[in-house]
Amino acid sequence: MTPASRMLAASIGKTFVAATMVSVAQERNIDLDAPVSTWLGRNGWFQRVPNHQSLTVRQLLNHTSGVPNHVYLPDFIETVSQRWPEPGNPFTPEILVSFVLDSEALFPGGKRWAYTDTGYILIGLAIEAITGRTYYEEVNDRFLGPLGLTATSASNKRKLPGLVAGYVAADNPFGFPAKTTDKNGVMVWNPALEWTGGGLISTSRDLAKWGAALFGGQGVSEETLNTILQPVPIGDDMPGTYYGLGVAISRSGPLSPVFGHGGWIPGYSSSLRHYAQSGITIAFQVNSDRISHQNLSEIELCLARVVISSGEKTDCVP
């Protein structure tokens, strides 16, 4: 493991997806509260999407759409467990969306909050329908290139230069092997199945650089950042915790406010956090998914205390 080691960044990629969508919308004078059917309604399957009549871009970006999350549906899990050894990518964006078609909405759009990768797949399709270009072309030209994020690129194929092996829990529901790569360093399953639910390979250094640019206001316009940080509450059981557009927001607890995102995909766990009061951004990655959300949160806070306190004694265990 070196500073140049690259890993799948998983849902941290949503920060890039949201920044891309908001930037496109502002450039083209698109209302984020406009119905997604404006761009996706021509697809024959769209009318089978839960809440399709009222779905808006903003609802998809802040997870208030009521669209179920295909990632945890039994049918998706079973299908992936059967098809992951196939060559190519058996799970195109349209196939990912197909797992929620004709299902009941979780709630009326805009009324509650529920995290859904499927919503971000729909955002990716909307970006491509609006721009006439691929999502990866858009994110590269808008952010990866201009910000010099040379270690960050699309995780849309099995052979990803610089990728370190990840280690998967033995009881993972997809039946993936314990190690993500073969003897040649090629992934044994295709990470393209994530697409705009995440969809990037990166390094901790690049992720920290991105977070500093995004939340520091250098990577996007002030208007874009203000829009991204418009919060909705996650739920009564998590007071002080909100979600913006592709961004988790904590306004309670030590060192708050904190902006960022976590990422989990079989074999890899990642964290990106920006501590607004100090202006410090910290990112780290672990080449294993055998780590709990609580442990990730403890590492985040420990690192932040060490860095922000400038080396003063803390209660963190090395």
> Would you kindly state where each structural domain of the chain is located, as residue ranges?
7-308
- Label residues 93-116 b or e (16+ Cβ within 10 Å = b): bebbbbbbeeeebbeebbebbbeb
| pLDDT at residue 302 greater than cutoff 70 | yes
Structure tokens at 118: 């499927």
Q: Work out the percent of the chain whose per-residue pLDDT is above 90.
A: 87
| pLDDT at residue 253 greater than cutoff 90 | no
CB neighbours of 151 closer than 8 A, spacing ≥ 6?
A: 4, 6, 162, 202, 203, 205, 206
Mean pLDDT across the chain: 95
What pLDDT score does 315 carry?
Answer: 62
What pLDDT score does 263 carry?
Answer: 97
Q: Identify which of 100, 105, 30, 26 has the alpha carbon closest to the alpha carbon of residue 64.
A: 105
Q: 248-250 and 258-265: which strand pairing?
A: antiparallel
Q: How confident is the model at residue 291 (pLDDT cuts 50, 70, 90)?
A: confident
Mean pLDDT score, 84-97: 96
Strands in the chain per DSSP E: 7-8, 153-154, 200-202, 232-233, 241-243, 248-250, 258-265, 268-275, 280-286
| pLDDT at residue 254 greater than cutoff 90 | no
What pLDDT score does 313 carry?
Answer: 56
Q: Identify which of 193, 48, 189, 188 has the alpha carbon closest to the alpha carbon of residue 124.
A: 193
Q: Are 14 and 198 in contact (CB under 8 A)?
A: yes
| pLDDT at residue 314 greater than cutoff 80 | no
What pLDDT score does 292 carry?
Answer: 86
| pLDDT at residue 262 greater than cutoff 70 | yes
Q: Identify which of 234, 225, 236, 216 has the alpha carbon closest to the alpha carbon of residue 276.
A: 216
Structure tokens at 54: 């009222």
Q: How confident is the model at residue 311 (pLDDT cuts 50, 70, 90)?
A: low
Q: How confident is the model at residue 312 (pLDDT cuts 50, 70, 90)?
A: low
| pLDDT at residue 318 greater than cutoff 70 | no
What pLDDT score does 294 carry?
Answer: 86
What pLDDT score does 316 carry?
Answer: 66
| pLDDT at residue 94 greater than cutoff 80 | yes
Mean pLDDT score, 110-138: 98
| pLDDT at residue 79 greater than cutoff 90 | yes
| pLDDT at residue 245 greater than cutoff 90 | yes
| pLDDT at residue 271 greater than cutoff 70 | yes
Rg (CA), the chain: 19
| pLDDT at residue 252 greater than cutoff 90 | no
The DSSP symbol for 50 reads: T
- The top-level CATH class assigned to 7-308 is alpha beta
Cα-Cα-Cα-Cα torsion 50, 52, 56, 61, nearest 10 degrees, comes to: 30
Q: How confident is the model at residue 225 (pLDDT cuts 50, 70, 90)?
A: very high
Which residues share a beta bridge with 288? 167
**Total-model pTM:** 0.96
Greater pLDDT, 133 or 296: 133
**Sign of the CA dihedral running 295, 297, 301, 304:** positive
